[in-house]
Structure 1
């Protein structure tokens, strides 16, 4: 069952809140967008097929689809996935990028996740179309600018590599990409309780090999990725009004309240108390 609600719309853009609970893991019927679409995941993990590329979408990875390419999605049966979908007219995207045509997977940092949630929270309050258009443009612009190398296909020098796909041909590269994708999916679904050895066992390699391959292919360590996923869960709880930070820290596997606060501030740029104000629903 799919539910879709338009939460903001204006000149050249629309923002929709989408939830999906699939009864089958089959791909949805392909469609084709006349403009760009940006997908920011709030909960769950699913695969998106954009043209000939298959991407893993989860809360730490957004994706952008460009006009004229077919797109479809595959969800795990019975699991609820939720995301924010932003539609942009082709001219609007070109104004943001100076004429570039972005497409593919992009990393979502804690700071970008805050901007995403602030846009959605702001759309619930009275706001004119000009303000919502500006917020949307800034969010998409920040997503594209913060990508390593300025786009989805470039990274290097230890920068984060969105999507975790190797650029080298051959079976070894495909194997490495599969290990990374499997680890991302496991940690996106359960960043609290799974240990390194268990993640490595489930994807079929040693902990050392997984750690080395993950860092090589994504530019970030498994620990940092896991921390980012836990911070995104903390953001959801804070947005929902959760005030027991000590209890939240224990629930998410942080050492204590102070550890949670330090990690959230480092990843998001704000401590939990300030985030509660920024993301207030009313």
Structure 2
């Protein structure tokens, strides 16, 4: 078995797990140390959790919980999985204010499976904020299917409360354009899932899209003021690198920062 860490912060970790085992008996008991949501991308296997057996394949996710003990038996052909590990704090914010996960595997909707696969492509092409947004969305989609009442708990109940939450998140974004949805939710005292939903309802845009739009406006101001180093500008505004800045600016305005610098210099 080979594990590759794709992304890791204090709130979550994403690992790719490749197993090329042939058919065999049950593995030795293996205790889990973290809360994890495991997506099977390819292959299948039997899993024994605390003595209870289940079969998992790419149509389901299964879960790891601290102190659970699992064994695996492969029918052959190997498998590929994505492990999404959540901190207790983040998980509690998505799971009714207490950390926990289901015991049995849960079927995934096609959109949720695609969401998880798109998350893997985001890791190489965007910043920490975009990855965190996608992690929260994927985890919330799985958990909403498993226990919708738990995930819905704590949603701001009134229009005034929802506007307040969004205003507080926007205020922090102006102060710190690189703030992730997890940090924004903590600042506004709601779950990241609820913030994502009410933010789009109030602004018409996702947190990621709004963050990028705001960062482009801030970048334009810096460029107009004479900022000469695009790499420094990208770092200051929380972009992954200069290429990421150029890509986002190009998507937003239809021209690269270098062209904008020339136009703004003549203004």
Q: Determine whether 1:85 maps to 2:69.
A: no
TM-superposed CA distance for 1:31, in Å, is 2.2
Contact 1:34 1:89 in 2 (8 A): no
- Residue equivalent to 1:161: none
TM-superposed CA distance for 1:36, in Å, is 0.7
State the Cα RMSD in Å.
2.0
- Residues 27 and 59 of structure 1, relative CA distance in 2, 3 Å threshold: same
TM-superposed CA distance for 1:124, in Å, is 2.2
TM-superposed CA distance for 1:80, in Å, is 2.3
- Residue equivalent to 2:55: 56
TM-superposed CA distance for 1:121, in Å, is 1.0
Structure 1 Cα separation of the partners of residues 62 and 25 of structure 2: 20
User: Comparing both chains, which one has the higher relative contact order based on Cα–Cα distances under 8 Å and sequence gaps of 6 or more?
Assistant: 1
Contact 1:38 1:86 in 2 (8 A): yes
- Residue equivalent to 1:202: none
TM-score scaled by length of structure 1: 0.48
TM-superposed CA distance for 1:149, in Å, is 6.0
- Residue equivalent to 1:109: 109
TM-score scaled by length of structure 2: 0.51
TM-superposed CA distance for 1:100, in Å, is 5.6
- Residues 75 and 109 of structure 1, relative CA distance in 2, 3 Å threshold: same
Helix, strand or coil for the counterpart of 2:135?
Answer: helix
TM-superposed CA distance for 1:140, in Å, is 0.9
TM-superposed CA distance for 1:7, in Å, is 1.0
- Tell me the number of residue pairs that the alignment of Structure 1 and Structure 2 aligns: 148
Residues 232-272 of structure 1: CA deviation (Å, up to 9, x unaligned)? xxxxxxxxxxxxxxxxxxxxxxxxxxxxxxxxxxxxxxxxx
Structure 1 Cα separation of the partners of residues 88 and 31 of structure 2: 13
TM-superposed CA distance for 1:148, in Å, is 6.8
Q: Determine whether 1:119 maps to 2:122.
A: no
- Residue equivalent to 2:37: 38
- Which of the two has higher C-alpha Rg? 2
- Residue equivalent to 2:3: 4
Helix, strand or coil for the counterpart of 1:122?
Answer: helix
Helix, strand or coil for the counterpart of 1:17?
Answer: strand
Structure 1 Cα separation of the partners of residues 99 and 134 of structure 2: 20
Q: Which runs of 5+ in 2 are unaligned?
A: 151-267
Structure 1 runs of 4+ off > 3 angstroms? 147-151
Structure 1 Cα separation of the partners of residues 114 and 22 of structure 2: 31
How does 1:238-257 map onto structure 2 within 5 Å? none
Contact 2:60 2:107 in 1 (8 A): yes
